Amino acid sequence: MYLIGLCGRSGSGKTAICGFLRKKGVYVIDADEVCRRLYKEDMDCISALSEEFGSDIAGKNGINRALLAKRAFSREGSIDRLNSISHRFIGKAILDDVKRAEDAGVRFTVLDAPTLFESGLNKKCDAVISVFSGKWLLYRRLKARENITRDMFLKRYNAQKTNVFLLENSTAVIKNTGTAADLRRRTLLAFMVTELKLGALTRGKGKKRYVYKKT
């Protein structure tokens, strides 16, 4: 099985990209969905976060993510402490999911993880695809989606890996500054480039230019 990491700043379009890939038949693991599940159900994770950031961040529905984010961005070094706790639990849950997919015979799994490199999960991936958008385009998207303040956006933006870093550490990149149709085209192209670099595709005969190698 090939494990392909997908990363990019918040608002860059990773969710839409995963939608295109699911329609292509790719199995997708959404790290944010894993996080939401653990923050709601995993008492060990909830307890560890509460001890670090205050018992009031947890309620009957689990961790209050908005309050946790506010606490994490309010003090220097808090983001690192949050990551050290959450990545431990989220990483294990993701790798368990990857193992289940491999055991089920899945050929391509995409891991949508905003903090792919920070968590160290990039080391488990066979390839990495990154998606980019302009800074203020990201802000407009997050403002519409989450009603995020400019100050909170900048704190989140500056805490994430730069586009230069992602460009230098990716197998393929997707630029998301146009229409949904343009993003779909760029997504499928980047995925094909990644398949070629992984050696999963080979030149075929007849009308088909490329075919999947047998495994």
Question: Could you give the C-alpha distances from 2 to 45, 55, 77, 126, 136, in angstroms and in order?
Answer: 29, 40, 35, 6, 34
Instruction: State pLDDT tens for residues 133-183.
Output: 999 999 999 999 888 899 989 988 888 888 899 989 999 999 999 999 999
User: Strands across the sheet with 27-30, in order?
Assistant: 27-30, 108-112, 2-7, 127-132, 172-175
Instruction: Determine how β-strand 210-212 pairs with β-strand 201-203.
Output: antiparallel
Q: How far apart are CA 187 and CA 22, in angstroms?
A: 12
Say if residues 21 and 187 touch (Cβ distance below 8 Å): yes
Could you give the domains of the chain? 2-177 (3.40.50.300)
What is the rounded average pLDDT for all residues in the chain? 91
Instruction: State pLDDT tens for residues 22-60.
Output: 999 999 999 999 999 999 999 999 999 999 999 999 998
Kindly report the pTM of this predicted structure. Answer: 0.86
Residue tagged 């499928």 (tokens):
188
Instruction: State pLDDT tens for residues 110-139.
Output: 999 988 998 999 999 999 999 999 999 999
Q: Say how far residue 198 (Cα) sits from the centre of its chain.
A: 20
